[in-house]
């Protein structure tokens, strides 16, 4: 559709010399303007349809898996752990703790893991020096 629109723009430009000669023809100028406008409209429609096609292809693809946080919860891997289950040897975030909680068999202690940070030791050393 975009190529057809560009060809219509070229045809409309061919009307211009005939409409702008020494004896101007207002009908020829109006026809050229109409063809030019239609060509631009077809180009815009082609771009719109291409964008909609790309959107539908992107919607069909499965979402990318969530990246796990290094040193995070051992069940979901997305949040920082707050508690350690000594029986099952699991570091748990608050969300997973609600699903894992069993007062009869589990023994919980506060987690000793630090929250995951980017840069690790280098960032901590830099923060201390400032």
Number of H helices and E strands in the chain, helices first, is 4, 3
CA distances from 102 to 3, 7, 73, 95 (A): 67, 73, 18, 14
Is the whole model's pTM more than 0.85, yes or no? no
Give dist(CA 87, CA 105) in Å, integer: 7
Tokens of 94: 């608050």
Reported as a single tens digit per residue, the pLDDT across 42-92 is 999 999 999 999 988 877 777 766 655 456 777 777 778 888 888 888 888
Taking only the tens place, the pLDDT of each residue in 13-27 is 888 888 778 887 888
Tokens of 119: 């840069």
- The answer to whether residue 3 scores a pLDDT higher than 60 is yes
Structure confidence at residue 10 as a pLDDT band (50, 70, 90): very high
């Amino acid at each position: 559709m975009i190529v057809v629109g560009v060809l219509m723009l070229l045809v409309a430009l061919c009307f211009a010399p005939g409409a702008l000669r020494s004896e101007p023809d207002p009908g020829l100028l109006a026809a050229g303007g109409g063809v030019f406008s239609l060509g631009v409209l077809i180009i815009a429609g082609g771009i719109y349809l291409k964008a909609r096609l790309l959107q539908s292809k992107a919607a069909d693809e499965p979402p990318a898996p969530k990246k796990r946080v290094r040193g995070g919860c051992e069940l979901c891997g997305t949040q920082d752990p707050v508690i350690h289950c000594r029986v099952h040897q699991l570091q748990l975030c608050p969300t997973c703790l609600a699903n894992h909680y069993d007062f009869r068999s589990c023994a919980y202690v506060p987690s000793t893991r630090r929250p995951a940070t980017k840069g690790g030791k280098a960032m901590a050393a830099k923060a201390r020096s400032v």
